[in-house]
Amino acid sequence: MSKAAGFIPPGATLGVLGGGQLGRMFAQAAQSAGYGVAVLEADEAAPAAQVTGIHLAARYDDPLALEQLARDCAAVTVEFENIPAQSMHWLESRVPLAPSPQAVAVCQDRAQEKALFQRLGVPCAPCAVLTAGSDPDAAGADLFPGILKTARLGYDGKGQVTVQTAADLPAAWAALGGVDCVLEKKLDLAFELSLVMARGRDGSAVQFAPQQNLHRDGILFASFSPGPSITPEIAQAAQSAASTVAQGLGYVGVLCVEFFVLRDGRLLANEIAPRPHNSGHHTIDSCNVSQFELQWRTLVQAPLLVPRQHSATAMLNLLGDLWFDAAGRQREPDWAAVLAQPGAHLHLYGKHEPRKGRKMGHLTCTAASPVEARQTALHACAVLGMEPF
């Protein structure tokens, strides 16, 4: 990298690859400390493009846009993992970039993620990797019923199919286009949790407490912090596994590790996000430092604040479904009633077109106790017409 290493003072411009809600919240956090933000994102109306000073409306592999980003930014980060490796390598040679292309490459690919967990001794689901030429009949009988997941580009449960028996595997694989896949044993989950942490260039690291996550249809529905089922032992195991992963990757930036807890009490790592995570959005309203502030702190090489949570929270994702009534007619959710709830913090991402399953925003309910936070979230569910949890 040609630019000087070391602390980057406010006034400098930080770049972000990707213009979704994560880029938007990163930009808002960095701007509040006086940094400029440039976003590379093809969509003119994207959430982050609306709030950044410099919007480069181009593809992630556009040479001129990458050139401008490298020239104008003191450091660059990513808001999602599917940035082409070539773009990241090119940028890395010209401007401080965090996380590294190597770390992102691992998180882009479920097969590499699983190999990393296994190499580091972090327990994960039993699995087999299917690549072109693999014999699907060779998958062990103990992996069924299983979940076949595309190795790359899956998110929010997309690119996944359940496979009941070994005999169903060839058809399931064909249905996913025969691309590289990971077949995972379908596990008997007691609950899910995730842990967000940050690690600086100097190796210093800080962690948030893990939050408990509830998924519906493969999409995060709600997160609870503190999580009602997370014992101190489980929290400790998650913290230690996440540290091992961050160190093993030589990671710089914010990352999130998703975990499963099985009915027999075992904790298994599921996947790694090389960026802030939907389940960590509550930190904006519940902690002395948010996951997005830690993201810019790692980028500018400022000291990492140790997170301290001052409020219990229940966070609800607000999907596009809420913008439609039972007859399928579009409507505006009753924000006045939501906002009338004490402790309800509304975050909308500026997406103009609601679609079913699309993440339009989130609502963080803060309170003095987990029980009260849950009550507020349940009330919000009733107001918004969401199934209670």
User: If binding is defined by CB under 6 A, does position 156 make contact with ligand ADP?
Assistant: yes
Q: Measured from the CB atom, is 111 or 383 closer to Mg ion?
A: 111
User: Whose Cβ is closer to Mg ion: residue 258's or residue 285's?
Assistant: 258
Q: H/E element holding 92? A: helix 85-92
Among 94, 201, 215, 379, binds ligand ADP (CB under 6 A): 215
Nearest-CB residue to ligand ADP? 187
- Closest approach of Mg ion to the CB of residue 260, in Å: 10
What is the spatial distance between Cα 76 and Cα 81, in angstroms, rounded to a whole number?
14
Q: Provide the minimum distance between the beta carbon of 371 and ligand ADP in the complex, in angstroms, as a whole number.
A: 25
Whichever of 59 and 186 has its CB closer to ligand ADP, that residue is 186
- Nearest-angstrom CA–CA distance, 376 and 314: 8
Residue type, 252: V
Among 12, 42, 54, 154, the residue binding ligand ADP under the rule CB under 6 A is: 154
Our finding on whether 192 is near ligand ADP (CB under 6 A) is yes
Cis peptide before 99 (omega within 30 of 0): yes
Burial 202-225 (b: 16+ CB within 10 A, else e): eeebbbbbbbbbbeeeebbbbbbb
Q: Which of 300, 302, 359, 348 is nearest to 77 (CA)?
A: 300
Nearer to Mg ion, 79 or 258 (CB): 258
Alpha helices in 93-137 (DSSP H): 101-107, 110-120
Give yes or no for residue 79 binding ligand ADP (CB under 6 A): no
Residues 234-263 that bind ligand ADP (CB under 6 A): 258
Strands (DSSP E) contained in the chain are 13-17, 36-40, 54-56, 75-78, 127-130, 146-150, 160-163, 181-185, 189-199, 205-207, 211-216, 219-225, 253-262, 267-273, 312-319, 344-348, 359-367
Q: Which is nearer to ligand ADP, 109 or 184 (CB)?
A: 184
Closer CB to ligand ADP, 13 or 223, in the complex: 223
Residue 271 C-beta: closest distance to ligand ADP, Å: 5
Structure tokens of 216?
């519906």
* CA gap 83, 97 in Å, rounded: 13
Residue 194 near residue 257 (C-beta atoms within 8 A):
yes
Rule CB under 6 A: is residue 368 a binding residue for ligand ADP?
no
Of 59 and 185, nearer to ligand ADP (C-beta) is 185
Query: Does 123 interact with ligand ADP (rule: CB under 6 A)?
Result: no
| Minimal CB distance residue for Mg ion | 258
Task: Pick the closest to residue 319 from 278, 283, 290 (CA basis).
Answer: 278
Q: Is residue 238 within 8 Å of 155, Cβ to Cβ?
A: no
Q: Does 147 bind ligand ADP (CB under 6 A)?
A: yes
For residue 157, state whether it binds ligand ADP (rule: CB under 6 A): yes
Q: What is the smallest separation between the CB atom of 194 and Mg ion, expressed in angstroms? A: 8
Region 276-335 residues binding ligand ADP, contact defined as CB under 6 A: none
* CA pair distance 163, 247, nearest whole angstrom: 34
Asked if residue 113 binds ligand ADP (CB under 6 A), the reply is no
Q: C-beta of 262: minimal distance to Mg ion in Å?
A: 16
Site residues for Mg ion per CB under 5 A: 258
Residues that bind ligand ADP (CB under 6 A): 125, 147, 149, 154-157, 184-187, 189, 192, 215, 218, 258, 270-271
